[in-house]
Amino acid sequence: MTQAAHKEDSYRGVLNATTAFLLWGLFPLYFHAIGEVPPLEILAHRMVWSLLFLCIVLSVRRQWKWLPTVLKQPRIVATFAASALLLSANWFIYIWAVNNGHVIDASLGYFITPLFNVLLGLFVLKERLRGGQWLAIGVAATGVAWLTWQAGALPWIALALAATFGTYGLLRKTAALAALEGLSFETLLLFPLAGGYVIWLTVHGANTFVNTPSDWTRALLVAAGPITAIPLLLFAAGARKIPLSVLGMLQYIGPTIQMILGLLVFHERFSTARLAGFIVIWSALALYIAEGFWASRRTAA
């Protein structure tokens, strides 16, 4: 690949990832609009309608030849089964958080994720951390400890979101399939569980899609397909074209929007003590960015 082509590829990767994080930042508005639907049912509908949307896209583009080959490779199937489970866990925790008044807690999870990515690099990819990176992680850990102390419990929503999405991002970055095929395969693996649950709800008269008098709610549940798939496709495409460090920096876009929505739209409580914990974590992120910038300048010199 020529230098110009590589630069163009990186630019597209940044654009794709940025758009994905912008869309994810607005997700609380969507989930709040379908707040009458239980989180587990929303999750199931996301899987079902996402697969339908992706099947239409694959059919239009005639991109089905990869599937028989992948099904013959157990290692790839196992990898995507793991990423699918991580993705579904992340979705469920996030939906539950938004619909139970924890949008700011959810935003904290995505603020922490870039630093969790550093730990993944250390323990999974066997990368060596520089002193500044260790310091950033230590400062972030102090912020989490403070939030735990003042709340009397671990910020489990934030930590669970960071762990599931950070690990998912690592698996997708090293995945054997491209963005569209990879996401389609993930949703295909999840479909039996999601479809079975929707059928179970219908048989027991608990399917909100069927029972709700609101056509708007039904339309929003169907829209879960493209609303879910498009940002994930953009994210997966961007993750494959840019360094994990750049991806981590862009990720601040989503939680910043989410936090603003939590404060201004959903009017969640944000005490001074809680703000202090967030400031410590933001300081860790600022330190991480500054250290990475300094290290890159030193390498270039």
| Model confidence at 71: pLDDT above 60 | yes
**Distance between CA atoms of residues 167 and 113, nearest Å:** 9
Pick 116 or 73 by higher pLDDT.
73
Beta strands in 27-86 (DSSP E): none
Half-sphere exposure of 279 (CA within 13 A, CB side): 7
pLDDT (tens digit per residue) in 172-222: 877 788 878 988 999 999 999 999 999 999 999 999 999 999 999 999 999
Instruction: Give the pLDDT band (50/70/90) at residue 1.
Output: low
**Distance between CA atoms of residues 207 and 24, nearest Å:** 26
Angstrom CA distances, 26 to 87, 142, 167, 252, 261, stand at 18, 29, 22, 13, 8
Q: State the pLDDT at residue 178.
A: 81
| Model confidence at 233: pLDDT above 90 | no
